[in-house]
Amino acid sequence: MRVLSGIQPTGRFHWGNYFGAIRQYIDLQGEPENAFYFLANLHALTTVRDADVLRQNTMDAAIDLLALGLDPNRATLFVQSDVPEVSELCWLLMTGTPMGLLERCHAYKDKKAKGLSADAGLFAYPVLMAADILMYDSDIVPVGEDQVQHIEVCRDLAASFNHRFGETFVMPKAKVLDSSARVAGTDGEKMSKSYGNVLEVLEDPKPLRKKIMRIVTDSRPMDQPKEPGTDHLFQLFSLFANDAQRDEMAAMYRRGGFGYGEVKKALADLAVDHFAEARQRRQELQAQPDRVREILRDGAAVARRKATDVLRRAQHACGVK
Ligand code: ADP
Ligand code: TRP
């Protein structure tokens, strides 16, 4: 059984990325052959158009994943473009992809709805993602909720290829964690780089505390009770709290007589502490770029072995070999 996921190197990771996706990558590690994780730099190219920035982001993202607990002895970490087979598989899939299927996909649809012009790369983005998944006979794909639609597209494309050309691809399944499917940002909306409402995972304690203190809250008076279940600050606190801490905080909400400042301070203490080790490890890894490059090179070699097999299978099935 193989777990696979990809994440775009488009900037520093935030709590949504961590609790929605990265934490699952780490929990699902086991044997390097069974856990494949990659940096989706070809996907990032649809938004990052500066070569040096993309290269730097890719290196930073690799360091951050390793610092957060991705272990090269228990998982294979690589860069998407180091496996060029994926681009050819993408083309084979593209020739069987109905336009209508892609027109419904949210990245393209949202951009169009805003009246912005989209390029063919953004339009075909889900097909490249399908190639990423099918390339390695992946069974399980851990992602945040917003990627589930893309995995449905992947399943559709795999099913129609298999139907047309005979059993070729393994059918993958998305894996979403209910508890953190949608982490709220500092404004209460979904946390996302594009909304400018993020709290970064490996941010230094001082600026992180500042951002937490600025989380938007309502104007409820101190003494008034509040239902914790509907409060985004409480949701953020719960990401880090153990059961006892969460129950105690929920009781305080229901009792009233507290200010949001207290909650923010408690949240900041837990968050700073939670990522302390990862911050330390990042510093160590930053000082060893050659070691990080070696991990990525070894990862690409493992991934390419698998990709070569699967590509050959797909080429034979559809008649280009
Ligand atoms: P962003 O919206 O900041 O650009 P990405 O689209 O690059 O984030 O997401 C990378 C991964 O993190 C995906 O698997 C996505 O589902 C997950 N993710 C992103 N934001 C959140 C969030 N607010 N809550 C839960 N998961 C998220
Ligand atoms: N589209 C994903 C995102 O923005 C990244 C990604 C690319 C991916 N290829 C993938 C995720 C394959 C899972 C599987 O987060």
What percentage of the chain reaches a pLDDT higher than 70?
Answer: 99
- Listed in order, the ranges of the chain carrying CATH 3.40.50.620 are 3-183+288-318
**What is the percentage of the chain residues whose pLDDT exceeds 90?**
90
To test the pocket of ligand 1, the residue of 48, 189, 192, 236 to mutate (highest count of ligand atoms within 8 Å of its CB) is 192
> Closest-lying ligand to the alpha carbon of 17?
1
Residue spans in the chain of domains classed CATH 1.10.240.10: 203-274
For residue 51, pLDDT over 80 is answered with: yes
pLDDT tens-digit map of 78-131: 999 999 999 999 999 999 999 999 999 988 898 888 888 889 999 999 999 999
Please compute the mean of the pLDDT values over residues 187-199 and round it to a whole number.
Answer: 93
The CATH architecture of the domain made up of 203-274 is: Orthogonal Bundle (1.10)
Q: Is the pLDDT of residue 146 over 90?
A: no
Residues 269-290: pLDDT tens digits?
999 999 999 999 999 999 999 9
Give CA separation, 292 vs 30, 69, 107, 302, in Å: 20, 14, 31, 16
Residue 156 and residue 130 in contact, taking contact as beta carbons nearer than 8 Å:
no
The per-residue pLDDT for 107 is 85
Least Cα distance to 38 among 68, 74, 83, 73 occurs for 83
Stretch 251-279: mean pLDDT, rounded? 97
**Would the pLDDT of 180 be above 70?**
no
Q: Which atom of ligand 2 is nearest to the CA of 7?
A: 5
**5-14 per-position pLDDT tens digit:** 999 999 999 9
pLDDT at 192: 92
Q: Which two tokens stand for residue 187?
A: 């404004």
Query: What's the burial of 217, exposed, middle or buried (CB within 10 Å: 0-12/13-18/19+)?
Result: middle
Contact residues for 72 (Cβ-Cβ < 8 A; gap 6+): 32, 66, 295, 298, 299
Angle value at C-alpha 233, between 227 and 238, nearest 5 degrees: 85
Return the structure tokens found at 66: 């390793």
Question: What is the strand order of the sheet 3-7 is part of?
Answer: 76-79, 35-39, 3-7, 140-142, 173-175
Could you tell me the CATH superfamily of domain 3-183+288-318? HUPs (3.40.50.620)
Provide the pLDDT for residue 69: 98
Mind listing the pLDDT tens digit for each residue in 206-223? Answer: 999 999 999 999 999 989
* Spatial contact of 194 and 184, defined as CB atoms under 8 Å apart: no
pTM above 0.75, yes or no: yes
Q: What is the mean pLDDT of the chain?
A: 95
Q: Which residues line ligand 1 (CB under 6 A)?
A: 7-8, 10, 16-17, 20-21, 143-144, 146-147, 180-183, 190-194
Q: How confident is the model at residue 252, as a pLDDT? A: 96
Residue 178: is its pLDDT beyond 80? no
Which of 193, 226, 264, 306 is flagged as catalytic? 193
pLDDT at 165: 98
Pocket test for ligand 2, best of 4, 5, 46, 108 (most atoms within 8 A of CB): 5
Secondary structure of residue 170 in the 3-state scheme: coil
